[in-house]
Amino acid sequence: MSDPAGEFRVPLTSGTEVGRYEVAADCGPVLTAPLEVVLVSAAGGSTSSVVIIVFFLAMGLLIYRRRLLPVSN
């Protein structure tokens, strides 16, 4: 059942399998749409990402240090 704004919600249970599903909403006209259920995982590589960013930032500063910091005589 939809609310006055036309929105509706359906809870997904934890047993829902990963895959593509066809969802149908019957609220007068029948509306269908595909729904993709995916499994999201995160890699714990945030430390290595920071190290790589700092490395390239330091290399950039070394290369362009003359443009960034004028040499005083």
Residue 46: its pLDDT value, please?
67
Question: Cα 72 from chain centroid?
Answer: 47
pTM equals: 0.41
| pLDDT tens for the 73 residues of the chain, in order | 667 887 777 777 777 788 898 888 777 788 888 888 888 776 666 677 788 889 999 888 888 776 766 666 6
| Token pair of 43 as six digits | 């890699």
Residue 49: its pLDDT value, please?
79
Burial class (CB in 10 A: 0-12, 13-18, 19+), 25: middle
